[in-house]
Structure 1
Amino acid sequence: MRVNGTADWRRGEEVPAHKFKMSQMPRRLSNMSLLTHVLACLFGMGSWVAINGMWVELPLIVPEIPEGWYLPSYLTILIQMANIGPLLVTLLHRFRPGALNEPAVIYAIVSMGCVACLLLAFLWKRTVEIAGSAHSVPLLVLTFFLSVVDCTSSVTFLPFMMCLQPQYLTTYFIGEGLSGLVPALAALVQGVGVVHCRNSSHISNGTLVNGSGAASELEAHYQPANFSAEAFFIFLSAMMAVCLFAFLLLNRHPGVRREHEEGRYLSAGAGVGKEEQGLRLRSQQEEKPMIAPVDHHQKECRSSFGTGTYSGLQVVFIFVVLAWVNALTNAVLPSVQSYSCLPYGNKAYHLAATMAALANPLACFIAMFVPIRSLLLMTFLTVSGTGIGAFIMAMASLSPCPLLVNRTSGTVLIVVAWILFVLTLSYVKVIIGVILRDEGHSALVWCGAVVQLGSMLGALTMFPLVSVYSLFKSGDPCNTKCPL
């Protein structure tokens, strides 16, 4: 169509001259692309920032509440109960396709997260007497709501990203990785869990013994926090508010909506599969994104899943790997991180936790530029990451005296192991997300559901081993003696 003889520089079509100026289009679209990347990252940061923040704040919360160190066990149960949210969303997509308004659900859960974090800042110390004993009911109830928010984000945030072009999905995964790193860095600044060993002074046979006496021992003293738990929860509420604002712009900003129109993937209604495939092929012909979708129209249909690129056996393999990787990274290994790292010292623990959190977005960043969809590579990385995880689990089982304890080489080894473990398996998760993104909206819904399923199975497996049967032992940070 020719109107006033002005051509669209991207599509080669004729468009009204008053809408575009040829000299300004590349720069304007480049700026909008950068804005969309930033918004996608901030949106992803809100996915798990609340629960991740709760976990890193435990050393400050536990001494102030009647549940004490049983709180982590309660949190594990609450998070698994919260999977009712993603279960309902997945069932609606399965039996009532098109009935769920995803943007409305995202607005609701993120707003609930903002309010819950803000209420925690004022109510986390409050207790309610039940059956003659005090319980932190407000803390547990609000934590359950936060768990519903974060668990449901897995099956709503990812499918929403289908509205945007493929390269923004990896940016979203970078933000999701930062949802663990940012609270960890905030906790480091806060000084959470920093312990100092000091000589104790006490009376032995009527004599004051101080430090050098035979009856003296070292005592662990935790460093006072640089700012309160109340301030930390307000910070988490602000992070959720930033996520809400980012989603509002992703959904409503005129410039970003142009990205919607260029990369639109319909998700509901009759004939969804054909419309998705046709629009995807048209988008591929118009431009080559940073993460280019697979050229489906040149390949024969191998199954009824998505575009038919992968056979039924390959689809099952991809989802099994996804569940396994998320079980390891979200539940199994995090449940024993303290047992594997603390014997090497408090600095080793904090360094491993922080660097592992940094490895997650780093893997997403690598996948943005090197998106290798090879199932063979995926298998190799999964086996490698699982092997590294087995080593970490072995060190945790040997706690409080693992290999090379009290040696610098041991500290370096455990920190590097955690970095490589998170780096390899995070790359696998991103590549699976990229693969399923090309298979359509419903594939990403199932992706989120399988992520939660794997995490749930991992948590339910480790909970009795750690909390009921106490198979892992922790030592005194100041007085544990290990044989040389």
Structure 2
Amino acid sequence: MLIVIMNLSAWIDLEGVFAELTIMISFIPEGWTIPSVVGLCLCAANIMPAIVTFLRWYQGKRFSEIPYIYIIIIIGIVSCCVLAFSWHKTTYLFGRERSLWLIGCVFALALLDSTSSLVFFDYMKRFQIRYLTAVFLGEGFTGVIPTLLLLAQGSAGEAICAQSSNGTTLEPTFTQPRFSVTVYMLLITSIIIASLIAFLLLRWTNIVILADAVEP
């Protein structure tokens, strides 16, 4: 279970952002172009696994995935917190308002997430092979949990016709989500914090030895 929870931090933050874009779009200057921007960030971030792979080859036996796991989880927590409170903020750049906070956080998360599978699987070499299933299960939940949160949040922006105040015409009213983007991202952050706690328990307690999970 701890391995499953730890691996939730692999992609859940970026999956959460993708799920929440439908609500963000109405409040940011990029509008419907933001999914393309997020896609470009993800493509550019794919350089990070190549860098880690090179470092692993260059350092050989001196390479340790532990620092990278700490970096991925902790910076993921910080980025999600910043995103929760700054996703709607804009900066005037190159002649127009731009969502630099949102794009910057997404790029940071993309750098981390694209590297997560690489280092998490490397970490699993310390455990018996039967625990490898927990890694796939955890990464699978990174897509399910944001979707469930989105369903609980409810859709926003759906037009509903309602009578005007004078009762003679129909006017569109737009539905609102049950909770805000900020609350949504903080919920994602809390899950990543749980991943950090799970990793600390695996790393610094004897629970792995008690479960006879160490690779002999």
Partner SS for 1:155: helix
CA distance in 1, matches of 2:30, 2:157: 22
**Of the two structures, which has the highest relative contact order with CA contacts closer than 8 Å and spacing of 6 or more?**
2
CA RMSD of aligned residues (A): 2.3
Q: C-alpha offsets along residues 279-323 of structure 1, whole Å, 9 cap, x if unaligned?
A: xxxxxxxxxxxxxxxxxxxxxxxxxxxxxxxxxxxxxxxxxxxxx
2:84 aligned to 121, 139, 155, which one?
121
Counterpart contact for 2:76–2:109, Cα < 8 Å: yes
Letter of the 1:232 partner, please give it.
Y
Residue of structure 1 equivalent to 2:196: 244
Q: C-alpha offsets along residues 72-94 of structure 1, whole Å, 9 cap, x if unaligned?
A: 00000001111122111111223
Residue of structure 1 equivalent to 2:180: 228
Counterpart contact for 1:39–1:250, Cα < 8 Å: yes
Partner SS for 1:97: helix
Number of aligned residues: 214
Is residue 108 of structure 1 aligned with residue 55 of structure 2? Answer: no
Letter of the 2:46 partner, please give it.
N
CA distance in 1, matches of 2:110, 2:6: 17
Indicate how the Cα distance of structure 1 residues 200 and 72 shifts in structure 2: closer, same or farther if over 3 A, else same. Answer: farther
Give matches, 1:205-284, under 5 Å: 210=169, 222-257=174-209, 262-264=214-216
Does 250-259 or 53-62 show the bigger shift?
250-259
Counterpart contact for 1:127–1:137, Cα < 8 Å: yes
Counterpart contact for 1:113–1:149, Cα < 8 Å: yes
CA distance in 2, matches of 1:260, 1:136: 49
Counterpart contact for 2:87–2:102, Cα < 8 Å: yes
CA distance in 2, matches of 1:194, 1:129: 26
CA distance in 2, matches of 1:179, 1:93: 26
Residue of structure 1 equivalent to 2:109: 146
1:54 aligned to 17, 29, 48, which one?
17
CA distance in 2, matches of 1:67, 1:142: 15
Q: CA deviation at 1:263?
A: 1.1
Indicate how the Cα distance of structure 1 residues 96 and 260 shifts in structure 2: closer, same or farther if over 3 A, else same. Answer: farther
Question: If you compute each CA radius of gyration, which structure gives the higher value, 1 or 2?
Answer: 1
Residue of structure 1 equivalent to 2:147: 184
Partner SS for 2:179: coil
Counterpart contact for 1:251–1:257, Cα < 8 Å: no
Q: CA deviation at 1:261?
A: 7.2
> TM-score, normalization: structure 1?
0.42
CA distance in 1, matches of 2:212, 2:116: 20
Is residue 41 of structure 1 aligned with residue 4 of structure 2? Answer: yes
Structure 1 unaligned residues grouped into runs of 5+: 1-37, 202-207, 212-217, 265-484
CA distance in 2, matches of 1:84, 1:258: 39
Counterpart contact for 1:164–1:259, Cα < 8 Å: no
CA distance in 2, matches of 1:192, 1:79: 25
Does 108-117 or 157-166 show the bigger shift?
157-166
Q: CA deviation at 1:171?
A: 1.4
Is residue 87 of structure 1 aligned with residue 39 of structure 2? Answer: no
2:41 aligned to 58, 78, 84, which one?
78
2:60 aligned to 81, 97, 102, which one?
97
Letter of the 2:141 partner, please give it.
L
Indicate how the Cα distance of structure 1 residues 172 and 125 shifts in structure 2: closer, same or farther if over 3 A, else same. Answer: same
Q: C-alpha offsets along residues 31-84 of structure 1, whole Å, 9 cap, x if unaligned?
A: xxxxxxx10110121110000000110111111110101000000000111112
Structure 2 unaligned residues grouped into runs of 5+: none
Identity value in percent: 31
CA distance in 1, matches of 2:160, 2:126: 54
CA distance in 1, matches of 2:38, 2:83: 15
CA distance in 1, matches of 2:66, 2:145: 25
Indicate how the Cα distance of structure 1 residues 200 and 148 shifts in structure 2: closer, same or farther if over 3 A, else same. Answer: farther
Q: CA deviation at 1:99?
A: 3.1
